[in-house]
Amino acid sequence: MFTFILCAQPFNLSRAEVLNLINLCPSSPVEVFLVVDNCDQRLTDEQARALVTYTHTTTDRHTHTHTHTHTKHTKLTSRWLTNDGRTLDSA
């Protein structure tokens, strides 16, 4: 994560934009354009592609997201939801 922050400095991104890029780990420049305010005025297509590359090469967020989702799914399948919103553990 720290490496990505250093790589992103030349792009003059806000703290919120940097954190969103780390958390979302965009897989295409389109996703970068959705996160960065006025991206079409601030970044070129090449710079947006570079940010995608940097997020994938300098963070391990993509792996953590998959693991977290799998763990959450496993946890949810061992519970039952009743009509009144209560959860019951399966026997």
Report the alpha-carbon distance of residue 73 to residue 2 in Å, rounded.
30
Q: Check residues 77 and 52 and name the one with the higher pLDDT.
A: 52
Report the alpha-carbon distance of residue 78 to residue 74 in Å, rounded.
7
- DSSP letter at 84 equals T
pTM, to two decimals: 0.63
- DSSP letter at 87 equals E
- Each as own residue / partner, the long-range contacts of residues 12-17 (CB below 8 Å, 24 or more positions apart, any chain) are 12/42
Q: What is the pLDDT of residue 59?
A: 75
Q: Encode pLDDT of 8-36 as tens digits.
A: 999 999 999 999 999 999 999 999 999 99
Split at pLDDT 50, 70, 90, the class of 78 is very low
Report the alpha-carbon distance of residue 82 to residue 80 in Å, rounded.
6
Asked if the model's pLDDT at residue 5 lies above 80, the reply is yes
